[in-house]
Every structure is written in structure tokens, then in C-alpha cells.
A and B are shown apart, each in its own frame.
Chain A
């Protein structure tokens, strides 16, 4: 079937029940989206479907027909995604970095929907994303910095 990833139409041949995560990683070689749990418990596989955050590990290929998929490889093309990536670098957020693709995707979705998130808003939007290295304080600070930068541009 044909799917739309990061503004590009791509033909995919995979079983209909194959989660988007494995379509991206194994079939398309887009390994930026990470496997962490397979049960939507950790957020490492977060992508956007029509701009909304979704867990790629529990989203079967059959459920994404007609939807626009954005991944970590493409999120920098959005203002929120770029601001989040810049803030992540400015504050040296990552440690091992493995969960950060998912964190960035969740943070970008948050900022797109909420230009000035409170701490509680950040908790609500980011609590589905586990970081075992414990980068949470910097994630929180980076989201606020990105929000500030985005707000300044408006």
C-alpha cells in the first residue's frame, strides 16, 4: 500500500497487522523511531499521525491509510519540531539518547497544541515517554525554552 511519511509517498509491502514501528524500521530503514516496549508503555516509538502523537508499536499498517505520518527524521520541518530540537541541543538534554526521538515527538506535539505549557501540562503530555537515564529535568527545561523561542517568533 501507499503511505505518506514526512511529506513523501512511499509504497510498502507488509502484513496488514505489522505495526508502523516495524514498517518504518525494518521495511523502510527509518531507524530513528525506536522500539522500547511494544505495548505503548514507554513512548520510544512516538510518531505523529495527522499531527497527533501516536505510538508506532501499536499502530498497525492497516490503520494508517490516508494519514500523514511524521517521524523524527521529518519533525525538524515543522516550527515546533525545529524549536524542540534546537532546545534539546542547547541544553545538552540527551544522555544515551535512545528515548529522545520519542521525547522530541511528544514535546513537538505538545508545543503545537499548547504554546505555553505549564509544568502540569508538560507532565500530562510527557508522562508516556520513559527516559531511563533520567533526563527529565532537562526535558522540562528544554520544552520551556522551545516554547519561549516559538512565542518570541510570533
Chain B
């Protein structure tokens, strides 16, 4: 019950904020994030995962050899 009240009063506080200002914030937030998501990625991340995958495959092959010996 206590928690519910806390949420309600926050919701009221938010309603009191100017709705146009909140819309502007929401739009800016998404623009900020979308801009980051669309930025070109450095190659190093994909390269790291390639290396990890190759290493794992080599490990698996070694395990299989050990198992068949």
C-alpha cells in the first residue's frame, strides 16, 4: 500500500510537468539514442567475437581428438 502511494505521487508529479516539455525530452532522448545506435561500429568488437569463436572451435576439435584416442 505504501509503495502504491509512492508511485501515485510520482505520477502526479509527472503530470504536473508541462506535457510539451516532456514530449521534447522524450524525442531528444530517442534522437540521442538512435544517433548512437546508428553510429558506425569499430571493427574490434566483431574481430574479438571472431577470435573467441575460432578459439572455441580449436578447443572443441582438441577435445574430440582426446575423446577418440
A binds B: no
Binding site for A on B (CB under 8 A): none
